[in-house]
Structure 1
Amino acid sequence: MTGLSIEATLELWVSSLRDVKTRMRPLFTQERIAVSAGQFLDGLLGDERRKTGWMRAEAAGDAGPWRQQAILGRGQWDADALRDIVRDYALETLADPGAVLVLDETGFLKQGKASCGVGRQYTGSAGKITNCQIGVFASYVSRHGHAFIDRALYLPKAWTDDAARMARSHVPDNTDFATKPALALAMIERAIATNVPFSWVAADSVYGVGDIEMALKRAAKGYVLGVNANHPFRAWGKPLAVAGTAKDIAESLPEDAWQRLSAGEGTKGARLHDWVYLDLADLDADDFDATFPGIWTRGLLIRRNIADGDLAFFSTWCPAGTSIETLVTVEGHRWAIEDSFESAKNELGLDHNETRSWHGWHRHVSLVMLAFAMMAAIRHHANVAPPPKTMWTSRRSTGN
């Protein structure tokens, strides 16, 4: 944070924390509960490595963790209302028409069988099948920064098929099994319904085909969605005849078809890969029952790792004439949600939730999302360059 002085940054921190506490105050019917929720937020933002109930209670000056635990358990308040507050708050700083909505999941390692949604399932967080919960998230990524704006707890069929188990974890009665893509689609639909400004969606192969593609086409949103190597592609109405699996198409390309491009800056500099983009078909909006005019292009984007030649494949949808550089940049925005997961877990206790219930998970995660959005807003404002000095301000500062 280099745009503001230390004093100004501290003032920004204090005013931002006061602001977010004020925004969530209407969620609570009693002042003492609101105060405890504010202290919970203080604990998430504190220096303690583990954001446990005891740690947060000690920071709040409480004799034990009961008040902190009550925020997640016994208290009566709506975590989805807080989710909406987080979204609106984040957009005040980060909103941009060209933003990318990035969808991904992360694991929450757990012991036992009681925590809502827990089970033996694969998580990229551990790189293996293990006992965990899975949360699906939507991150809003723009030139101003990035923050989570939506989340959902994935419930395996072993949970949704067991009514008694669902009841013990206080899962709402109308909750049925939903795949991870279905949870992500609901987030996209919420973002569109609430007029969240974005032009693109990026996600890995878990979310790359099906209803998400059609919903984005009809909403005039571009996408770069991961697909498996055996996903079929076919060109029509194009000079280059392409047909086959993504892997077969990639292997048939001449070496001079590849371009070395950066997907954005990483911790070690530009994230360079070799890329190919093939536009496969142009479609008029009328062809897919859309209500807007224009020609859009369906394509295949292929990424090749420079070091080992490993390939990744992406189904794309974009306005006709969109450049490969733009599509590569959109795909590169996926790093932001990975960075967000790491930061939120290491610094804000995203995976330190000690509750076992449905509402406990959503409340804890939503409070962490609020803390993360606050940090994103502070980072943006602190990095804004100060206005250039005028002749008048220069003279005042020198006493002339």
Structure 2
Amino acid sequence: MEGRWTEEIEARFDAYVDRLVKVIGHADRAEPLRDYCTGLLLPVERKSVEPLAAVVRPDRVSAKHQSLLHFVGQGGWSDEALMACVREQVLPVVERDGLVEAWIIDDTGFPKKGKHSVGVARQYCGQLGKTENCQVMVSLSLATETASLPVAHRLFLPEAWANDAERRRKARVPEDIPFRSKTGIALDQLAAAIAQGLPPGVVLADAGYGGAADFRQGVTDLGLAYAVAIRPITNVWRPGEAPPPRSRTHRRGPRPGEQKLPKHAHQPVQVKALALELPDSAWQTVTCRQGSSEPLGGRFAFLRLCCANGDGLRANPSPELWLMIEWPQGDPEPARFWLSTLPADIATTELVRLTKLRWRIERDYLDLKQQCGLGHYEGRGWRGFHHHVTLCIAAYGFLISQMETIPPSALHHPLSRQKPPIPKAYIPRGAPRSAAAPCP
């Protein structure tokens, strides 16, 4: 039956896992690696360690639970080596229908109760759309028009955690992991991807990253082009305008970066205010790609201008770049804003298409959480968190590698691989023992 877990796919899965086994070191890690990845692909409601043990070895749940718990929580294997092996197997499949076009930076949150799980704090959680108790992970994905694959991930460690020696000790945070902002982690991931020789692409990110001038400059310093979302209050110079040359050379008075512009000089403007000034002729409808039922696009304006570097008062503005504004027909005000260093002669349809390719990271997170249990890890330690994420990406990578075998509609829900029956006597941890028959 189409979309089912066939013997052919089983053989491909075995070959895929065999290559992963070769990079994790000790031979005794082979079985838990295979079992963990198998469990992540089974239709299990909760994919934390104990339920996975129950479905892969229903006859030896307790022993398997301990084996998987040690493998993911304390195993000394390398996340980077396993991620590299996943890339080697999956990227060639991803690039069959088109070359990598985008490097997508984003973060995702994992709601958590309590305060002991590594990195947990009250911070913005994208999954909930509000500030809540959660962990936040920063990731980098490589994307084509038809597929994408996460290639790097790291837990964001808030300053309260990074500076608390006792909490670090209990969560076994490595000593060489200091506090690093999300934008700093993202720049580290981009630099590592360049060093690894990964297929280049334009950097895409939401306003949490694109709104930071130091992040945009960091991307440029790495030699990469970007198309990133910005906040409506971002300051820019109107097309054809720039701050006047700085004439003050002596030390007295305001620092050069804080000088006040003459009242008669033109002033920088926020991008939202600039959008409201534009005439109707500045707006055009652009179609960027074909949706499932109809073409997708929107109403946009495109301007070539200089960014005012945040404060609008510096005498050396950024080089000229693209400002792209989206204002849906009928909405009372502009909806979204982007800055891009893509070439000045790029077609506007191509500029929109590449910028909008960031939707693929949302698909990555959705599938990783719904299909592979990305947010289900219940351990508290640094190593276990990253090991679980790496194994989820490995399982997800296998699904991507089978896109031609398994139709896309089948990837929106768990693969219909047969799930081993759980013994009737099995009692989940925390359940009252009277809820089931006595264990044999």
Q: Answer yes or no: same fold by TM over 0.5.
A: yes
Matches within 5 A, 1:319-334: 319-334=343-358
Mapped pair 1:155 → 2:137: no
Q: Which residue of 2 aligns with 1:301?
A: 324
> Equivalent of 2:118, from 102, 116, 119?
116
Could you tell me which amino acid in structure 1 is paired with residue 327 of structure 2?
R
- Residue correspondence of structure 1 range 305-384 to structure 2 within 5 A: 305-306=328-329, 308=331, 309-380=333-404
Of Structure 1 and Structure 2, the greater strand share is in 1
| Paired residues of 1:93 and 1:377 also in contact (CA < 8 A) | yes
Q: Does 1:217 align with 2:220?
A: yes
Mapping of residues 95-114 of structure 1, within 5 Å: 95=95, 97-114=99-116
Q: How many residues align?
A: 366
Give the structure 2 partner of residue 63 of structure 1.
61
In 1, Cα distance between the equivalents of 2:206 and 2:31? 40
Which range moved further: 372-381 or 208-217? 208-217
CA-to-partner distance for each residue in 1:138-184, whole Å, 9 max, x for gaps?
11110341111111100111101101111111111011111111111
- Give, as a single letter, the amino acid of the residue that structure 2 aligns with 1:328: V
Instruction: Provide Cα deviations, 1:231-255, integer angstroms capped at 9, x if missing partner.
Output: 11125658xx994111111111112
With 273-282 and 156-165 compared, the bigger mean Cα shift is at 273-282
The 1:98/1:258 distance shift into structure 2, 3 A limit, reads farther
Q: Deviations over 1:38-71 (max 9, x none)?
A: 1100000001121122221122213222112112
- Rounded to whole Å, the distance in 2 between the matches of 1:327 and 1:188 is 21
CA distance in 1, matches of 2:237, 2:113: 46
Find the partner of 1:254 among 279, 284, 293. 279
Partners of 2:230 and 2:337 within 8 A in 1: yes
Query: Do the aligned residues in 2 keep the contact of 1:263 with 1:331 (CA within 8 Å)?
Result: no
SS in 1 for 2:87: helix
Report Cα offsets for 1:202-255 as digits up to 9, x if no partner. 1101111334323433444321111111111125658xx994111111111112
**Percent identity, aligned pairs only?**
27
**Could you tell me how far apart the structure 2 residues matched to 1:130 and 1:105 are?**
15
**Conserved 8 A contact 1:301-1:314:** yes
| Map of 1:10 onto structure 2 | 6
User: Hey, what does 1:388 align to over in structure 2?
Assistant: none
Structure 1 residue 373 displacement after superposition = 1.4
Q: Say which of 229, 232, 236 aligns to 2:235.
A: 232
Q: Pick closer, same or farther for the CA change 1:333–1:12 going to 2, 3 Å.
A: farther
Mapped contact 2:325–2:334 kept (Cα < 8 A): no
How far apart in 1 are the matches of 2:9 and 2:209?
A: 37
State the match for 1:287 in structure 2. none
Report the AA paired with residue 68 of structure 1.
Answer: L
Q: What corresponds to 2:32 in structure 1?
A: 36
Q: Which has the higher helix share?
A: 1
Distance 2:273 2:163 in 1: 40
How much does 1:281 deviate?
Answer: 5.8
What runs of 5+ residues in structure 2 fail to find an aligned partner? 242-265, 308-318, 409-440
- Correspondence for 2:22 among 22, 26, 35: 26
Deviates more, 1:30-39 or 1:119-128: 30-39
Match of 2:289 in 1: 264
The residue type paired with residue 360 of structure 1 is G
Match of residue 276 from structure 1: 301
Change in CA separation of 1:44 and 1:265 when aligned onto 2, cut-off 3 Å? farther
Q: Following TM superposition, by how much is the alpha carbon of 1:24 offset from its aligned partner in structure 2, in angstroms?
A: 1.6
After superposition, the Cα gap between the structure-2 partners of 1:119 and 1:7, relative to the gap in structure 1 and judged at 3 Å, is closer
Is contact 2:322–2:344 with CA below 8 Å preserved after alignment? no
Distance 1:368 1:133, change over 3 A: same
For the residue of structure 2 that corresponds to 1:379, the secondary structure is coil
Aligned to 1:291: none
* SS of equivalent to 1:206: helix
Deviation, 1:83, is 2.2
Matches of 2:276 and 2:379, distance apart in 1? 49
The 2-side partners of 1:322 and 1:242 are apart by: 28
